[in-house]
A and B are shown apart, each in its own frame.
Chain A
Amino acid sequence: GNSVTQMEGPVTLSEEAFLTINCTYTATGYPSLFWYVQYPGEGLQLLLKATKADDKGSNKGFEATYRKETTSFHLEKGSVQVSDSAVYFCALSDPNTNAGKSTFGDGTTLTVKP
């Protein structure tokens, strides 16, 4: 079945540091890949997505590239801010199975200190 493995947290960085959160996946077919972010006290919201191999999703300074050869979708940001402190979830959706249900990783908590 489908699965998503995320880098374990928590991750603590100083402001302006470089961020990488690793995500690898297992899926049949050709899934779409997502990063969702959950700020304290809120629901999840889509941060970025990529729907086919070699696509790069980007938003708010975050980027992730769909790497089919390594089955990875690592999240990166060049310079984090205190406001980026949140829980980040990697997810996949395979349109050919499970009627569009998404499979989520366990989440990685990021804390950015000033």
Chain B
Amino acid sequence: DSGVTQTPKHLITATGQRVTLRCSPRSGDLSVYWYQQSLDQGLQFLIQYYNGEERAKGNILERFSAQQFPDLHSELNLSSLELGDSALYFCASSGTESYNEQFFGPGTRLTVL
């Protein structure tokens, strides 16, 4: 158990809809990262937050947004969903060690029909 929790575990929705994925980092970790894993594109970094502030941005679509709240949990919002958004979405957190080992949650499997 990494200490990172993600909800829901599975999500099935329709094209055009909007969903919210939730992540609670390990106790004390200030950084949260979001990744998308699909069969054809591997693990893609989306965005990082550190103590409530956006710190780094990767290949995140404009239809997607995220935030980190004062209690350090984070939410990833996906809107105007398309079939190609079906994937596993992982959240990870890291502490203050300089080598930045990341601890991954179990993921949310999103299926867009």
Smallest CB–CB gap between B56 and chain A, Å?
4
Interface residues of A in 53-110 (CB under 8 A from B): 89, 93, 95, 98-104, 106-107
Total chain A interface residues with beta-carbon distance under 8 A: 22
A106 contact set on B, CB distance < 8 A = 42-43
Smallest CB–CB gap between B31 and chain A, Å?
6
The stretch of A10-18, A19-27, A43-51 that contacts the partner chain: A43-51
Smallest CB–CB gap between B113 and chain A, Å?
21
Most chain A beta-carbon neighbours within 10 Å: one of B4, B90, B100 = B100
| In the bound complex, CA of A44 to CA of B4 (Å) | 11
Nearest residue (CB) in B for A44 is B104
Total chain B interface residues with beta-carbon distance under 8 A: 25
| In the bound complex, CA of A23 to CA of B43 (Å) | 16
Most chain B beta-carbon neighbours within 10 Å: one of A36, A44, A89, A107 = A44
| In the bound complex, CA of A44 to CA of B48 (Å) | 17
The interface of chain A, by Cβ under 8 A from chain B, is: 32, 34, 36, 42-46, 49, 51, 89, 93, 95, 98-104, 106-107
Q: What would 5 more interface pairs be, CB under 8 Å, given A32-B99, A44-B102, A49-B99?
A: A36-B102, A42-B106, A44-B92, A100-B48, A101-B33
The interface of chain B, by Cβ under 8 A from chain A, is: 2, 4, 31, 33, 42-43, 45, 48, 50, 55-56, 58, 90, 92, 94, 98-107
